[in-house]
A and B are shown apart, each in its own frame.
Chain A
Amino acid sequence: MIWDILRLSLRNIRHRGLRSWLTVIGILIGTAAVVALISVGQGLQRAIALQVERIVGYNTILVTARGLNLGQRIRLDIEAIRAIPGVRSAIAVRTETAYVEGPGGKGFLAVLGYDPPMEEFVAEMDLTVASGRPLAGPGEVLLGSRTARVLGAGVGDAVTIEGKSFTVVGILGAQRAGGFATGGLSLTDLLVISLPELRQLFRGPELVHYAVVRLADRADMALVRERIRDHLRAVGERNASLTDFEDLTRNIQSVIRGVQAFLAGIAGIALLVGGVGVMNTMYTAVLERTREIGVLKAIGAKDSHVLFLFLFESGFMGLAGGALGLLSGFGVAWVATLIVSRLFEAQGAFTPALTAGLVLGSLFFAFVVGAVSGLFPAVRAAKLPPVEALRYE
């Protein structure tokens, strides 16, 4: 019997044609907005987790100024950290802005202190030279491609950095994006000299911006962290903090989740408005079909039959809106990520996520919004005294 009532409900929805569609569209838009945002957000989370893992890797500890501040310098001795048992390798990163003069130009430019292990463990560090050769000894400098143009310098030319003369030994190849090891600066805009020389050029030779420490297999993370802390205490650095991969992803994920929940909440308002649309349609339907309700009751329909008749109608409209919204929302998310990927030339796989939870959750939620919105009109229909309903003109 429940199936027959369901069929009747579907019939009534079809019968209302355009009005049903408009109602469904209300739910569709709300669901699509929620689905698109969550799908993009989950995709972003996944992409960031991958990226962080790829760049930083598990078993990696970041030593930075408190609050993951990559711009503030801290005091540490990278050799001492390398000597800690359980540390496989470690790099210190320092980038300074220096006054640079070349044969054909001059200006304030970023100079990166190069530490050979960098290339080994930072995937973004592409120090492949397009012409010339890599750094080999003191007094040598590599130029980013754009820096070379700015300074009008080529291989063999001399450039002065903060008054000290360096010989250009190579020009870096084209770079894809700013890397983690350079603090987000693009390698095309940098000069690269060896880290010891950079430290001597600037005030505070013991300072670095941050250090990245990779642990040996099966090393005890907690123990190594403790040893690094000991070292920081020994050199009098009180403003540093340690972050490992898990901390990092957790931080980023929680920020994304927060933003996502906020946006989904706003999108949820659209769904709520869709629900109000359903309620409006159903109240109108109850009013229009008052006589019919009276007739149904006269020929033996119980209150519950009438209730379900109307609940199914609104629930089904919710479900239909949810299903269509799910498809269009995912479509929107897909197009959006495509555009974002193009615009920011993001690397790696950034695709919207479509999890089973999202599919079932959004369908269920849309159905519930429909059914709940239809509840009051349906109860009103079910409670109509048959005689009054029959008398209704």
Chain B
Amino acid sequence: MSTALVELQGVTKIYRLGEVEVPALRGVDLAVSPGDFLALMGPSGSGKSTLLHVLGLLDRPTAGRVLWEGRDVTRLNGGRLAELRGRRIGFVFQMFNLVPNLTALENVELPLVFLGVPGRERRRRAQEVLTRLGLGDRLRHRPNQLSGGQQQRVALARALVTDPALLIADEPTGNLDTTTGKEILGLFTQLNEQGRTIVLATHDPEAAAVAKARLRLRDGQIVGVER
């Protein structure tokens, strides 16, 4: 049996809001294999984001196990998880979430800073990825000097600069107009064709359509898989 990149086994996540316990995930089993392109779909509050966070090792399950390349990482300490995220996972957010006072190039360099990559090599790699995404002439621009689509491409470059095994995107087109959204989705398709494993969460059927498989979530459970 081929090892899944990341595998969730009976993952339950319960948030406590004061006295009230809110279950966000209820016994989810899911395996993401290398080369997959999954879209998580479902209404707000269905658990998409939570599932994405658990897959991205940003959040720990209340119950169940998370295996990363076959290794149980459920109880790994925060520093190890951070390092694993830094080396193996790239994140793209709906709000782009670039650091406002850094240039495009510096934003893309940031993950490499935390990995301790020397400055010269950092700049070379960041520049290369940005150029590949068509932002070679925007290296010194700050986020507020860039359009939404350009910002999302910088964010994508930041996610890709570490050459991650898994790319996670939370509503990556949610804040973009249709045309720009399509461009970004095109980039995702390209990346997957080059062998990148991608999981994205989305409301948008068009965005979900580019994925190889769609998972429907409701009330913290996967209720349908469509390939």
Residues of chain A touching chain B, judged by Cβ–Cβ distance below 8 Å, are: 1, 4-5, 8, 11-12, 14-15, 291-292, 294-305, 385-387, 390
Contact = CB atoms under 8 A, between A and B. Distances in A.
11 contacts: A11-B101, A11-B102, A14-B101, A292-B97, A294-B97, A297-B58, A297-B82, A298-B58, A300-B83, A302-B82, A390-B93
Contact of B119 (A4, A292, A295): A4
A390 B168 CA distance: 14
Interface string B142-174: 000000000000000011001000000000000
Interface stretch (B25-33, B108-116, B216-224): B108-116
B93 A295 contact: yes
Nearest to A385: B59
B86 interface: yes
Contact of A300 (B53, B119, B162): B162
Interface residues of B, number: 30
Overall SS of chain A's interface = helix
Contacts of B102: 8, 11
Interface of B: 53, 56, 58-59, 78-79, 82-83, 85-87, 90-91, 93, 95, 97, 99-102, 110-111, 113-116, 119, 158-159, 162
Contacts of A387: 53, 58-59
Given A298-B56, A303-B82, A4 B113 contact: yes
B103 to A, nearest CB: 10
A4 B83 CA distance: 17
A360 B53 CA distance: 48
A302 B81 CA distance: 9
B153 to A, nearest CB: 16
Nearest to A304: B79
A5 B113 contact: yes
A298 B79 contact: no
Nearest to A300: B86
Closest 7 CB pairs of A and B: A300-B86, A15-B101, A300-B114, A302-B82, A299-B111, A295-B97, A387-B59
Contacts of B90: 299
A215 B67 CA distance: 91
A382 B158 CA distance: 22
Contact of A299 (B86, B95, B100): B86
Contacts of A390: 53, 58, 93, 97
Q: Which of A12, A15, A295, A299 has the most CB of B within 10 A?
A: A299
A304 B114 CA distance: 10
A294 B91 CA distance: 11
B51 to A, nearest CB: 12
Nearest to A389: B58
A288 to B, nearest CB: 11
Given A299-B85, A300-B83, A305 B114 contact: yes
Contacts of B95: 291
